[in-house]
Amino acid sequence: MKTIDDLATEGVAGKRVFVRADLNVPLEGTTITDDGRIRAVAPTIAKLSALGAKVIVASHLGRPKGAPDPAFSLAPAAERLGEILGKGVAFATDTVGESAASVVAGLADGEVAVLENLRFNAGETSKDDAERGAFADQLAELADLYVGDGFGAVHRKHASVFDLPKRLPHAAGDLIATEVGVLKKLTAEVRRPYVVVLGGAKVSDKLGVIDNLLKKADRILIGGGMAYTFLAAKGHEVGISLLQKDQIPVCLEYLAEAEKRGVEFVLPVDVLVSADFPDLKTKAPANPELVAADAIPADKEGLDIGPKTRELYAAKLADAGTVFWNGPMGVFEHPDYANGTKAVAQGLLDSDAFTVVGGGDSAAAVRLLGFDENVFGHISTGGGASLEYLEGKTLPGLAALED
């Protein structure tokens, strides 16, 4: 896999370099609430700019329906990128239309432009190879070289991720190179004990990674909404908590497999519950009730792990050599249900382990709860991509860069 340094040796000055970034940031209106992904890719863009390239940045944002939608415009992300870079960033109001062509044609060496949301074009996400390829052809006309640095999208077989690098000389950006290096430490170069912490809403989202990590991890700690399907599998009442009944047989299989392999599979022993989901906008007090994990009232919903579970999980993290964490322990956006997620983050910091925060809500929680990002071993920009890599899947965006 070529890198930007390889491109620099060959020379990029004066060339149009298409950077597939991941600027998929959360927005409230036009206000960015977490700019972590923009800050993560900015060094690659700055490096190419300093080398004299004409940098064309493209990304998706949200899930528009293959047509322009102002709610998903990348304009706020382009503005924030300019602030981080400390220089003006041009913005094209389309992706492959007149505005994009004009903006790209007007770039001087070292200047940067951002194209409008790739997913405003149906060809970006099409499952039809010909339609996707036709859109990739249009994108290729804008550039001379391709740099893939949107790690959060490399598990998608999309035009800008998979098809475009086949049409241009290509290389991996510094962010992707870093992400892949970190993930290798979680698969081939593991320092033990290897502890995996999994949370989030749905157990079905994590089945593949659990299946694969049962062969590699020493301990797996479960929290978040997915924990209640495992508790139900053990025969416990879970009230109105998140529950995927159809996944109970699989959960039973994993519990049995963990016991067979000698892998500690740790579930909550107490939880915070309520009959009402908290108001995440006003953050009004929720008055949660603490109950044992095997005694959730039939009319209550589990919304965070309790203090005994927090202590238990901290102890299970204390002697770890490597920790991978993906998914919050509860509704961390509300202060009454943030302590479980906060305890896991603190547990990572208190250990001497190589720690990886697996993107998505976990990364957002770290920032929202006030932790210094730099004290973790690595905070990934791609939760879904990280999980699929750990499942052992081939990621289309990485495979395209390896050609």
Which residues belong to the annotated binding site for substrate? 22-24, 37, 60-63, 119, 156
Active site residue 37: yes
Q: Are 365 and 328 in contact (CB under 8 A)?
A: yes
**Cβ atoms within 10 Å of 260's Cβ, excluding its own:** 9
Instruction: Name the active-site residue from 152, 239, 347, 360.
Output: 360
d(CA 83, CA 233): 50
**Paired tokens of 137:** 């052809």
Beta bridge partners, 167, equal: none
From residue 235, give the alpha-carbon distance in Å to each of 1, 31, 205, 211, 244.
49, 45, 22, 22, 14
Strand order, beta sheet including 194-198: 264-266, 219-222, 194-198, 322-326, 354-357, 378-379
**Paired tokens of 115:** 């194209």
d(CA 299, CA 189): 46
Residues 6+ apart with CB under 8 A from 82: 88, 89, 112
Annotated binding site for ATP: 206, 302, 333, 359-362
Instruction: Name the active-site residue from 2, 39, 167, 202.
Output: 202
Q: How many residues does the chain have?
A: 403
**Paired tokens of 374:** 């730099």
Active site residue 360: yes
Give Rg (Cα) of the chain: 22
d(CA 283, CA 394): 41
> For strand 31-32 and strand 27-28, is the pairing parallel, antiparallel, or unpaired?
antiparallel
From residue 339, give the alpha-carbon distance in Å to each of 6, 353, 378, 383.
45, 21, 22, 21
Annotated binding site: 22-24, 37, 60-63, 119, 156, 206, 302, 333, 359-362
Instruction: Name the active-site residue from 16, 37, 216, 316.
Output: 37
The angle at the Cα of 179, spanning 96 to 146, to the nearest 5 degrees, equals 30
What letter would DSSP give residue 94?
A: S
175 closest CA partner among 3, 1, 394: 3
Q: Are 150 and 22 in contact (CB under 8 A)?
A: yes
Q: Are 296 and 302 in contact (CB under 8 A)?
A: yes
Active site residue 202: yes
Active site residue 377: no
Residues classed as catalytic: 37, 202, 360, 384
